[in-house]
Chain A
């Protein structure tokens, strides 16, 4: 019999700041050495479960708990946050905010310092740990200069140095590009196997986590446990769909095709998924599809000509980029962290001045225009809504730009209300913004730009940190704007977003454009996907395994079908 390391018994929890309980009557048992994935839509309470395990609840976030929680067989109430930190190591979601030390070594040593470990012993332990996460070359590097994936490895080392028995990952894949995310999952898997640590992963990107084996998946919805079973069994059920969690795409495709996915087919991983029985159905389903969207040629609205830019001499961030965007296009800009995507968008908005080259808007040169002048044509929605919101109430925030332009109050009110309705924020118009969720705040920022009626909108990671339902809402909303004639540029890491919603993808690498094609073409080009840290979609692999001759078209067919199905949710 294995040791029980985490045990929730009829556990409920309510934050002091909230009226209703966040967790209802939870029962979970996690055994020593297990690898468990907790999934659920945002606001489902999955993060709260994580907080209960690592002790942030009740020590940092106060509230009332009923029922019992035992960690390593001891009542959690008898363990303070410090003794808890010796048992549970937490890797937080935010890759930048959680670093305390300035260099890699210093950050890893942080908890040893707090234990008053002698300096010599400390250095040895740090060196030993940094090797397990393959970061030994970077021991004295500044953390600011690391990539997202490397930062995550450092924070992992920072908790492993304590020899903890449980490692908790809070959304480890957020902010990582697809290839780096895949590597992170492999690393977690290796460490789990080598150290026999109990691993708990909280994440909503199910397919990416299933890249490696997990023992069990716990599905949380609305504060309750709706499933607690092995991945194969879960994927052959309808639970994920009813909780609005994105199933692995290949499983989804099989289900759309009418296949009966059962546990014995081992659907949890694509390479083990036995599709013999449903090959015909998939082929049938595909052949039913007929699609041909003729492409209209329109006028270019935005043109960049040979743009170069650098922050510091010697390091060209943007190297002679030229591109042209047509009116009414929806384009995604992809590439790994630091490829120059955000810088390019800043140059377009005038936040940074290019060193050479010119920018044309409707064939008129706007290179010399100020930020304010460009803001009449181009709207920019930043990644972090907190960087944009400056008013207390939703209405005031959205109205801000109009008031400043001197639009009469009556007129402004009409326009703001119209935009709030489009964005689904009208019921919240008199709410304080601080009471909104992250996704709602993001929509407020979109509304506050939309109300200014720009002709081109640039959005930086519009769907980061949002679950499937909010993602669908947000993207359908953008797609609708696009249909009404708005030109939209999206900067994203999400390959599915790029496939599903955009007709053209610009791939950047090291300050250059390395590809500019329809997304389905880019994701089938292994050289491009490798260079830009993207990942081949599992649909493609499925299509090849089934023996479909036009795998690209299969992917496109799936996307069109999937969009239709999800539209019916709303």
Chain B
């Protein structure tokens, strides 16, 4: 059921036992590495390594499939847009042009362009498993504490943590509202035409916003009544001390990051160029 998507999934694995801070730092390091490099070899390594970590975490693909599909669709649109707006990007970067198919004007298909877009896609693939893991294996109550520990203001940390925590609630509300609207004859199934379905979906958004606003009022009152925001610092009940696994993990990720950067930039270019010789 989609109701539980993107919420914490409890398993007994080494990944789950790492503190939230470690996971957050690793996530940041990992995405920076993937963001900075266009080196195919590094991206391929990051991708394979992230798959390994994903398997270790014992999270099933089916548990995150909804988000995964969403991201893949987005990735596809992104790829289309890249080609549409700059079909010669690969040629510009790699400095050669091996044309496969001519279409019209500057729109042709070159090996360079394909290679470039494969790299972009690979970047996504290297980050997606780690990002998903970070969200579903970090206990929500540790989440705010970790953000706070790396220097984010605790107010913002809490706002982020609460937002994440309410995802299942909002999903549950969404389902309830959708059902109650269907019970009044608003059809959202495939039997209805798309424009009408979109219009009908709007009739869910309005009550959803209303009920969410209600929730926000209650929770912000409750927090204020218990002294939230009083001083600039606060402690955390569920913060956990670092253990050996945390240090080891951070070290490994640090090494990966440095290596990735050295390999990427040693020739003064972010791109790995197989067309050169």
Give which listed residue, B230, B236, B238, B239, contacts A82 with CB less than 8 A. B230
Question: With the chains together, A55 CA to B226 CA distance in Å?
Answer: 11
Q: Which residue of B lies closest to A97 (CB)?
A: B218
Docked-complex contact A114 and B228, CB < 8 angstroms: yes
Q: Which residue of B lies closest to A404 (CB)?
A: B185
Question: With the chains together, A387 CA to B184 CA distance in Å?
Answer: 13
Docked-complex contact A85 and B184, CB < 8 angstroms: no
Docked-complex contact A102 and B207, CB < 8 angstroms: no
Interface residue B256 (Cβ < 8 Å from any Cβ of A)? no
Interface residue B5 (Cβ < 8 Å from any Cβ of A)? no
Docked-complex contact B219 and A90, CB < 8 angstroms: no
Binds B, one of A118-126, A411-419, A469-477, A516-524: A118-126
Question: With the chains together, A27 CA to B184 CA distance in Å?
Answer: 49
Question: With the chains together, A116 CA to B214 CA distance in Å?
Answer: 29
Interface residue A349 (Cβ < 8 Å from any Cβ of B)? yes
Assuming the contacts A106-B237, A382-B180, asked whether A92 and B185 have C-beta atoms less than 8 A apart, the reply is no
Question: With the chains together, A482 CA to B264 CA distance in Å?
Answer: 77
B window 167-204: CB within 8 A of A: 173, 176-177, 179-187, 189, 203-204
Give which listed residue, B187, B203, B233, contacts A372 with CB less than 8 A. B187
Which residues from chain B contact A375 at a C-beta distance below 8 Å?
182-185
Which residues from chain B contact A94 at a C-beta distance below 8 Å?
218
Docked-complex contact B210 and A452, CB < 8 angstroms: no
Docked-complex contact A85 and B239, CB < 8 angstroms: no
Main secondary structure of the interface of B (DSSP, over half): helix
Chain A interface residue bracket vs B: 35 or more
Docked-complex contact A98 and B237, CB < 8 angstroms: no
Docked-complex contact B231 and A448, CB < 8 angstroms: no
A531, chain B: closest CB distance, angstroms: 29
B window 199-238: CB within 8 A of A: 203-204, 206-207, 210-211, 214-215, 218-231, 233-238
Give which listed residue, A100, A115, A386, A401, contacts B222 with CB less than 8 A. A100
A window 314-358: CB within 8 A of B: 346, 349-351
The 4 closest A-B pairs by CB, nearest first: A97-B218, A109-B237, A98-B222, A111-B226
Interface residue B140 (Cβ < 8 Å from any Cβ of A)? yes
Docked-complex contact A452 and B185, CB < 8 angstroms: yes
Docked-complex contact B177 and A387, CB < 8 angstroms: yes
Query: Could you list 24 A-B pairs, sorted by A, with CB under 8 Å?
Result: A97-B214, A102-B139, A102-B165, A106-B237, A106-B238, A110-B223, A113-B236, A114-B230, A119-B236, A122-B235, A123-B237, A159-B226, A372-B185, A380-B180, A384-B211, A386-B207, A386-B214, A387-B173, A387-B176, A387-B207, A388-B177, A388-B180, A404-B184, A405-B185
Docked-complex contact B225 and A56, CB < 8 angstroms: yes
Docked-complex contact B226 and A85, CB < 8 angstroms: yes
A142, chain B: closest CB distance, angstroms: 10
B97, chain A: closest CB distance, angstroms: 55
Which residues from chain A contact B176 at a C-beta distance below 8 Å?
382, 387
Give which listed residue, A59, A115, A372, A387, contacts B211 with CB less than 8 A. A387
Interface residue B88 (Cβ < 8 Å from any Cβ of A)? no
Question: With the chains together, A92 CA to B214 CA distance in Å?
Answer: 14
A342, chain B: closest CB distance, angstroms: 10
Which residues from chain B contact A346 at a C-beta distance below 8 Å?
179
Q: Which residue of B lies closest to A102 (CB)?
A: B141
Which residues from chain A contact B184 at a C-beta distance below 8 Å?
375, 400-401, 404, 448-449, 452
User: In the complex, which of the residues B141, B221, B223 has the most CB atoms of chain A within 10 Å of its own CB atom?
Assistant: B221
B26, chain A: closest CB distance, angstroms: 23
Question: With the chains together, A159 CA to B124 CA distance in Å?
Answer: 46
Give which listed residue, A116, A122, A351, contacts B233 with CB less than 8 A. A116
Question: With the chains together, A158 CA to B226 CA distance in Å?
Answer: 8
Question: With the chains together, A452 CA to B185 CA distance in Å?
Answer: 10
Question: With the chains together, A81 CA to B223 CA distance in Å?
Answer: 11
Docked-complex contact A114 and B231, CB < 8 angstroms: yes
Question: With the chains together, A387 CA to B218 CA distance in Å?
Answer: 16
Q: Which residue of B lies closest to A119 (CB)?
A: B235
Give the number of A-B contacts (CB < 8 Å): 157
Interface residue A130 (Cβ < 8 Å from any Cβ of B)? no
Docked-complex contact A97 and B222, CB < 8 angstroms: yes
Q: Which residue of B lies closest to A373 (CB)?
A: B185
A435, chain B: closest CB distance, angstroms: 13
Q: Which residue of A lies closest to B202 (CB)?
A: A390
Which residues from chain B contact A123 at a C-beta distance below 8 Å?
237
Docked-complex contact B203 and A390, CB < 8 angstroms: yes
Which residues from chain A contact B206 at a C-beta distance below 8 Å?
389-391
Which residues from chain A contact B239 at a C-beta distance below 8 Å?
119
Docked-complex contact A349 and B186, CB < 8 angstroms: no
Which residues from chain B contact A116 at a C-beta distance below 8 Å?
231, 233-235
Question: With the chains together, A162 CA to B223 CA distance in Å?
Answer: 14
Which residues from chain B contact A59 at a C-beta distance below 8 Å?
224
Docked-complex contact A113 and B237, CB < 8 angstroms: yes
A332, chain B: closest CB distance, angstroms: 21
Interface residue A33 (Cβ < 8 Å from any Cβ of B)? no
A310, chain B: closest CB distance, angstroms: 12
Give which listed residue, A103, A350, A379, A401, contacts B141 with CB less than 8 A. A103
Interface residue A364 (Cβ < 8 Å from any Cβ of B)? no
Docked-complex contact A98 and B177, CB < 8 angstroms: no
Interface residue A66 (Cβ < 8 Å from any Cβ of B)? no
Question: With the chains together, A350 CA to B140 CA distance in Å?
Answer: 34
Question: With the chains together, A386 CA to B180 CA distance in Å?
Answer: 11
Q: Which residue of B lies closest to A448 (CB)?
A: B184
A window 368-401: CB within 8 A of B: 370-372, 374-375, 379-380, 382, 384, 386-391, 400-401
A354, chain B: closest CB distance, angstroms: 15
Which residues from chain B contact A386 at a C-beta distance below 8 Å?
207, 210-211, 214
Question: With the chains together, A351 CA to B175 CA distance in Å?
Answer: 10
Interface residue A54 (Cβ < 8 Å from any Cβ of B)? yes
Which residues from chain A contact B219 at a C-beta distance below 8 Å?
97-98, 100
Assuming the contacts A372-B182, A386-B210, asked whether A119 and B237 have C-beta atoms less than 8 A apart, the reply is yes
Which residues from chain B contact A570 at a C-beta distance below 8 Å?
none
Docked-complex contact A114 and B183, CB < 8 angstroms: no
Question: With the chains together, A390 CA to B180 CA distance in Å?
Answer: 11
Question: With the chains together, A493 CA to B185 CA distance in Å?
Answer: 29
Question: With the chains together, A370 CA to B179 CA distance in Å?
Answer: 11
Q: Which residue of B lies closest to A122 (CB)?
A: B237
Give which listed residue, B186, B203, B223, contacts A100 with CB less than 8 A. B223
B18, chain A: closest CB distance, angstroms: 19
Docked-complex contact A90 and B225, CB < 8 angstroms: yes
Docked-complex contact B227 and A114, CB < 8 angstroms: yes
A84, chain B: closest CB distance, angstroms: 8
Interface residue A117 (Cβ < 8 Å from any Cβ of B)? yes
Question: With the chains together, A231 CA to B106 CA distance in Å?
Answer: 89
Which residues from chain B contact A351 at a C-beta distance below 8 Å?
179, 183
Docked-complex contact B226 and A100, CB < 8 angstroms: yes
Give which listed residue, A110, A119, A379, contacts B183 with CB less than 8 A. A379
A3, chain B: closest CB distance, angstroms: 23
Docked-complex contact A371 and B182, CB < 8 angstroms: yes
Which residues from chain B contact A45 at a C-beta distance below 8 Å?
none
Assuming the contacts A102-B141, A106-B141, A114-B228, asked whether A380 and B183 have C-beta atoms less than 8 A apart, the reply is yes
Interface residue A30 (Cβ < 8 Å from any Cβ of B)? no
Interface residue A290 (Cβ < 8 Å from any Cβ of B)? no
A313, chain B: closest CB distance, angstroms: 12
Q: Which residue of A lies closest to B184 (CB)?
A: A401
Interface residue A60 (Cβ < 8 Å from any Cβ of B)? yes
Question: With the chains together, A77 CA to B139 CA distance in Å?
Answer: 40
Which residues from chain B contact A60 at a C-beta distance below 8 Å?
220-221, 224
Question: With the chains together, A106 CA to B211 CA distance in Å?
Answer: 25
Which residues from chain B contact A102 at a C-beta distance below 8 Å?
139-141, 165
Interface residue A101 (Cβ < 8 Å from any Cβ of B)? yes
User: In the complex, which of the residues A90, A159, A379, A389 has the most CB atoms of chain B within 10 Å of its own CB atom?
Assistant: A389
